[in-house]
Amino acid sequence: MSDSLFADASRRLERALKYVSLSEDTIERLKYPKSSLIVSIPVRMDDGSLRIFQGYRVRYDDTRGPTKGGVRYHPKVSLDEVQSLAFWMTFKCAVLNLPFGGAKGGITLNPKELSKLELERLSRGYVDAIADFIGPDVDIPAPDVYTNPMIMGWMMDQYNIIKRQLSPSVVTGKPVTIGGSLGRETATATGAFFVIQTLLPKFKRIPSETTVAVQGFGNAGAELAELLWKAGYKVVAVSDSQGGIYAKQGLDIPSIRRLKDANKGIKDIYCEGSVCSNIIEHEILTNEQLLALDVDLLIPAALENQITEANVNDIKAKFVFEVANGPIDSAADLILETRGIQVIPDILVNAGGVTVSYFEWVQNRCGLYWTLEEVNQRLQHKMVEETEAIWKKSEELSVCMRTAAYVYGLHRLGAAMNAKGTRDYYVNG
């Protein structure tokens, strides 16, 4: 079998199919994306030169509604990665019972090498190239790795220019001042926090006696680390792409966030200088060392394939909550399950982002905007309700949480596809 990310992602579906009765039509349709688009984006750089960037957008399945998914800017973006992310988003929307299908997009580049003006030209150029592929009732982009509300605002504005109309619901994750939803920027972390708070009591865990390590101190990882810290968890390690820090007695997460913003890197925070020396004793470690720490909760919140066959036996955590998409490959997943390590899957844990994106889309379409308290109450209800249902399914079938989540999503996808007619309907009446 191919070693592509998509082939690996599909193996999770194969395990779940043993526990659910689906029509042949449903199984066949879920094997392939509905449509994939590859575009070239010419950008005039600040020095006058012209660069061509490769962009992608994949709509995986729209049986349950228009497709939904983020756009990431990263050097490793490829069609295989985008297709895999769209596949996961299809199940994420089904698991949370959102009226969407799954999509994803991306551009292959290192965004840190571009000026803000170059990023704006790139973002508008991407929309120029995919404008006929997206729309409020077709496919709705959102932020992802290295994209943010400002970039979403540029994309919405460019779409409005092309279509000669105001269409705020064409993208989500926009600035609040131009139609974004309160709570969207922190939604992935907030949703993950609700999942953790729902599940850990089932294992008789209390926050003050629970240690946490967070790999990935970006938007989602940093916010979740602070939510856990405020709730009394002992966050002992955090890391970003450059490296991380560890303190057995626990870290002061709000201070780390402030200093990271000022220093642009975690491992630069704790130093011998006057700004850092009095905060806490610490150790500097690599991302690989963080993954191997003996903690209760390990939270991979960076990129795909962080835990593989090569390092899975180093994992000592008792629980892994996947805030990143696909941080554990399928081979490592089986080994963790055999070792009794509880893995809570990405298609549930990080679904807070797409859930509040759905809330934003609804608010844009009805013209009625909610308070932050209303958004978070609705998000909590959704995350807790679906987490409890998947936990119940896991207990009922005696399967891991990942398989239970896929089974749960497959029931909804299968029912939607059956409603359009299947072989059994046409042949057997």
The answer on pLDDT for 270 being more than 50 is: no
The span from the CA of 90 to the CA of 92, in Å, is: 6
Dump the DSSP string for 370-386: --HHHHHHHHHHHHHHH
Q: What are the structural domain ranges in the chain?
A: 34-164, 187-349
Length of the chain: 429
Correct CATH for 187-349 of 2.60.40.1220, 3.30.365.10, 3.40.190.10, 3.40.50.720: 3.40.50.720
- How far apart CA 309 and CA 306 sit, in angstroms, is 10
Among left, alpha and beta (phi > 0; psi -120 to 50; other), residue 365 is alpha
How confident is the model over 276-294, as a mean pLDDT? 76
Token pair, residue 253, equals 């997460």
Who contacts 43 (Cβ-Cβ below 8 Å, separation ≥6)? 50, 51, 52, 53, 118, 121, 122, 125
Average pLDDT, the chain: 91
Binning pLDDT at 50, 70 and 90, where does residue 111 land? Answer: very high
Evaluate if pTM is beyond 0.75.
Answer: yes
pLDDT of residue 206: 93
The span from the CA of 64 to the CA of 62, in Å, is 6
Q: Has residue 266 got a pLDDT over 70?
A: no
Output the pLDDT for position 271.
40
Around 67, how many Cα atoms within 13 Å sit in the side-chain half-sphere?
A: 28
Question: Residue 277: is its pLDDT beyond 50?
Answer: no
Terminal CA-to-CA distance of the chain, rounded, Å?
37
Q: Could you tell me the CATH superfamily of domain 34-164?
A: Leucine Dehydrogenase, chain A, domain 1 (3.40.50.10860)
pLDDT at residue 312, rounded to an integer? 93
Active site residues per annotation: 104
Confidence of residue 273 (pLDDT cuts 50, 70, 90): very low
Burial zone of 233 (CB within 10 Å; 0-12 exposed, 13-18 middle, 19+ buried): buried
- Fold match between domain 34-164 and domain 187-349: yes
| pLDDT at res. 280 | 57
DSSP, residue by residue, 388-416: HHHHHHHHHHT--HHHHHHHHHHHHHHHH
